[in-house]
Amino acid sequence: MKINKRVLFIAVLLGLLVGFVDTILDYKYFYKSKGFLNLLIFDIPEHEIYIRFTILLCFVIVGLIAGNNISLLQEALHDVKILKGFLPICANCKNIRDDQGYWNQVEKYISYHSEAKFTHGICPKCAEELYPDLYKEVVLNKKNK
């Protein structure tokens, strides 16, 4: 797991800020006689320690998760190559013209400009056109099964 330190730092700051706001509200509504500084630092009620720790821990956990997700997304974005715009393609042979004016096979062009890998097969239409006898035999075998 890769830790995004900036996100974790922000999460800790937010956790501390929420704990500080909680202290302000406690001072205003419940512990006015203790004094704000005492309530914030010295004379913290036991249940408030658990609350502040839980709040901080939740923010740290969220920060770790968010930071890890951000790191994963940044890595994925770095790995993505996108083909954009118009691709000049031959209407007959389907070769693609590159920026230097050379004609390349579709597989070669796309492999060079992306992370795509190719495997080859043959579609039913081409199989019937190129291998009519074999195609009829395969189709008959499928029908008999």
The pLDDT of residue 74: 77
Question: Which amino acid appears at position 134 of this protein?
Answer: L
What ranges do the domains of the chain cover? 5-79, 96-144
Please give the structure tokens belonging to residue 39: 């309530």
Q: What is the pLDDT of residues 62-105, one digit of tens each?
A: 888 887 777 777 777 776 666 677 889 999 888 999 889 999 99
pTM for this entry: 0.43
The pLDDT of residue 79: 66
Compute φ and ψ for 121, nearest 5 degrees: -145, -165
**Burial, 60: exposed, middle or buried (Cβ in 10 Å; 0-12, 13-18, 19+)?**
middle
Question: Which amino acid appears at position 70 of this protein?
Answer: I
The pLDDT of residue 95: 92
- Mean residue pLDDT of the chain comes to 82
The pLDDT of residue 103: 94
Average pLDDT over residues 115-126: 85
The pLDDT of residue 67: 78
The pLDDT of residue 83: 66
Q: How far apart are CA 39 and CA 102, in angstroms?
A: 75
Of 36-40, 55-59, 86-90, the least confident: 36-40
Residues 34/43, Cβ–Cβ less than 8 Å: yes
Q: How many CA atoms lie within 13 A of 116 on its CB side?
A: 14
